[in-house]
């Protein structure tokens, strides 16, 4: 028997779209609340054939990743501002190869987005065959340490969110 498509097949996307709409409107007027609700329901429904199937995500690692990324963006903004505006700054740009343990395509794309969103770094290449991301850093004196930091701060949390855990029920051995 064929399963009927659910209206809320992508609930997080629905919430994100509705919230974004309300934030862009700067009001909670009834018209905008209804618009946000319709956007949150209809856009994911219209895009259902283009979006991957949702999976159950563990909330604790998602929240930890969100906090780590927001903190790193704030700290990186300050660091880059000092580097760029400092009178005696001598940045040491570097190319950093970050080997990937991730295999989930969405997790890899999120890692690349997080790297690019954090000021001072840009993910330039995702090499799926060699399983690494090439990152350009504005200032990096130790590329190996930067790669290790990216793996421990972001990739490990993405692994906890997207990759099946061996001790989790239903995980493949």
- What's the rounded Cα separation, in Å, for the pair 33 and 39? 10
Q: Assign 43 a pLDDT band (cuts: 50, 70, 90).
A: confident
Q: What is the pTM assigned to this prediction? A: 0.69
> Per-residue pLDDT for 20 more than 70?
yes
Identify the band that residue 171 occupies on the pLDDT scale cut at 50, 70 and 90.
very low
Find all residues with CB under 8 Å of 78, minimum gap 6, and list them: none
Q: Which two tokens stand for residue 30?
A: 């009834």
What is d(CA 119, CA 140) in angstroms, rounded to the nearest whole number? 13
- pLDDT band for position 2 (cuts 50, 70, 90): very low
The pLDDT value recorded for residue 55 is: 63
Minimal CA–CA distance to 63: which of 171, 172, 161?
Answer: 161
Phi, psi of 95 (to 5 degrees): -100, 130
More confident call, 41 vs 168: 41
Over residues 8-17, the mean pLDDT reads 79
What angle do the packed helices 30-46 and 11-25 form, to 10 degrees? 140
Half-sphere exposure of 133 (CA within 13 A, CB side): 30
What's the Cα-to-Cα distance from 48 to each of 5, 58, 157, rounded to whole Å? 9, 22, 27
Tell me whether residue 150 is exposed, middle or buried, using C-beta atoms within 10 angstroms of its C-beta: 0 to 12, 13 to 18, 19 or more: buried
- The Cα–Cα gap between 82 and 37 comes to 42
Q: How confident is the model at residue 173 (pLDDT cuts 50, 70, 90)?
A: very low
Report the mean per-residue pLDDT for the chain. 84
Structure tokens at 123: 């993910």
Q: Tens digit of pLDDT for each residue in 119-162?
A: 999 888 888 888 999 999 999 999 999 999 999 999 999 999 88
Quick one: what percent of the chain has pLDDT higher than 90?
A: 42
């Amino acid at each position: 028997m064929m399963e009927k498509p659910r209206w809320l097949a992508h609930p997080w996307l629905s919430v994100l779209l509705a919230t974004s709409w309300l934030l862009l409107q700067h009001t909670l007027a009834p018209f905008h609340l209804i618009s946000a609700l319709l956007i949150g329901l209809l856009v994911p429904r219209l895009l259902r054939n283009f979006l991957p199937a949702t999976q159950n995500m563990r909330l604790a690692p998602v929240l930890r990743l969100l906090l780590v990324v927001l903190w790193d963006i704030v700290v990186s903004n300050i660091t880059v501002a000092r580097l760029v505006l400092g009178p005696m700054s001598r940045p040491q740009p570097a190319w950093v190869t970050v080997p990937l343990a991730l295999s989930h395509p969405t997790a890899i794309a999120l890692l690349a987005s997080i790297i690019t969103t954090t000021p001072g770094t840009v993910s330039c290449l995702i090499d799926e065959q060699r399983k690494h991301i090439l990152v350009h850093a504005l200032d990096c004196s130790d590329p190996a340490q930067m790669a290790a930091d990216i793996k421990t701060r972001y990739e490990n949390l993405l692994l906890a969110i997207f990759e099946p855990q061996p001790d989790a029920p239903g995980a493949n051995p």
